[in-house]
Each structure stands twice: as C-alpha cells, then as structure tokens.
Chain A
Amino acid sequence: ILNVEQSPQSLHVQEGDSTNFTCSFPSSNFYALHWYRWETAKSPEALFVMTLNGDEKKKGRISATLNTKEGYSYLYIKGSQPEDSATYLCAFCESRDKIIFGKGTRLHILP
C-alpha cells in the first residue's frame, strides 16, 4: 500500500509570516507529484505539477521543491495572507492514472 504523508496536519501562522510544510512519498516508481489548494466550499485547485528531481516551481508567493530520490516535496508560502487559508494537498503519481493523495495540511492564517 502506497503511503503519502503530509505534515503537519494543521498549522496556524500569523499573517505576514512565512511557512512551509512537507509531503513525503515513496521514492520508487515516481511519475509526478502534484500540489493542490483546497479552500472551504470550493474544489481543489492545482498549484503545481512536478516531474523531475530537483524541480522548483513558483507561483506568486507560493513555491515548491521536489526530491524524488529521498521522496519528499516542500511547499513554501512567503508572507502569508488571509486568502492563503486552505487545505494544501499533495498527490503522488505512479502513473497518469495511479494517484495517491495525502490527507492534506490545513493552514490557518491568523490576522
């Protein structure tokens, strides 16, 4: 059974502070790693799709890194804002159709 672990499960961050969280996944049979943001009452929205070891992706204040050899990815948020409050999901892809989601990190930004 493939395991995709995200930590921490929940995080409270002061507005303006930077933060990061982790996704760990099997280091074999890697195809891709996805990150999603899931806001309350909405659907998950794709942030990044990462396919190569050493990949770094950036979208505004959010960035992600990937280490496929050791099986982890970090998501960073710089200068947290209230609209960053959401659950952040990672998904490990063994193939295009074989995808395992983590349980997510629930991020709360405190004003």
Chain B
Amino acid sequence: SQTIHQWPATLVQPVGSPLSLECTVEGTSNPNLYWYRQAAGRGLQLLFYSVGIGQISSEVPQNLSASRPQDRQFILSSKKLLLSDSGFYLCAWVPAPNYGYTFGSGTRLTVV
C-alpha cells in the first residue's frame, strides 16, 4: 500500500541550530514530493517540490533547503534556524492524477 512517513512529530530547537526533517513514501516510484509549512496565522505555504532525484524547485526564498537523495526520500534542512522558521511542516505527494495531496503526519517545529 502507498503510505507517507514524516518525522519527527515535534521538535524544539534553539536559534542557530541545524535542522533535518525527513519524509519517505512507500508503495510508489518516482513520486512528486512537496514540503509545505504553516506558520502562525498563515495558510499552508509551498516551500519546495521535487519531481525526481536531485531535482528541487524552491517556491520562496528562505533559510531552508531541500534535497532528494533517493527516489522516495525528501529532506528539509537548515544550517541555522531562525525564530521565523517555527511552524508546522508537512510533506505531501499526489498518489494519482486528479487526486488531492496525501500529507504526512507533520512536524511541529518550535525555534526558541
């Protein structure tokens, strides 16, 4: 079956520390993968998407980066977190054309 896994569920990190969030998809190959963030008081914002290994598109300039080292793995990183990086991060993919996104369980990141 097709599933999407995201971890960790919650994270509290000091300002200036690095970040690595991981997302993996099972039961499919060559999926389009997406990272979204919801900051306080705002809607879901697309951060990055990837159509294949090593292919990353960035939607907004920011302190974050993404990598796709393997077909079903999508990683969100930062070298030095800012307070404004706090939010709820969601990984997503689209199982089939004309399907909505299927989201991972999300990571609540608090930068202190």
A contact residues vs B (CB 8 Å cutoff): 4, 32, 34-36, 42-49, 51, 89, 91, 96-97, 99-104
**What's the interface size class on B, roughly?**
20 to 34
Q: Scan B83-110; emit 1 where CB is below 8 A from any A CB, else 0.
A: 0000000100010001111111110000
Q: Which residues of A contact B61 (CB under 8 A)?
A: none
A43 to B108, CA, bound (A): 12
Question: How would you classify the secondary structure of chain A's contact residues: helix, strand, loop or mixed?
Answer: strand
For the complex, give the distance between the alpha carbons of A32 and B43 in Å.
18
Bound: A4/B44 CA distance, A: 11
CB atoms of B105 and A46 under 8 A apart: no
Interface contacts (Cβ under 8 Å), in number, total: 49
Write out the residue numbers on chain A whose beta carbons fall within 8 Å of the beta carbon of B57.
97
Interface residues of B (CB under 8 A from A): 32, 34, 36, 42-46, 49, 51, 57, 90, 94, 98-106
Chain B residues with CB below 8 A from A104, complex form:
43
Say yes or no: A43 contacts B105, CB within 8 Å.
yes
Min CB–CB distance B97 → chain A (angstroms):
8
A44-B103, A100-B46 known; 12 new pairs, CB 8 Å cut-off, are A34-B100, A34-B101, A42-B105, A43-B103, A43-B106, A44-B101, A91-B100, A97-B32, A101-B43, A101-B44, A103-B42, A104-B43
- How far does the Cβ of B57 sit from chain A's closest Cβ, in whole Å? 7
Partner of A97, one of B42, B49, B105: B49
CB contact under 8 A between A47 and B32, given known A99-B46, A101-B43: no
Cβ contacts under 8 Å, B36 to chain A: 101
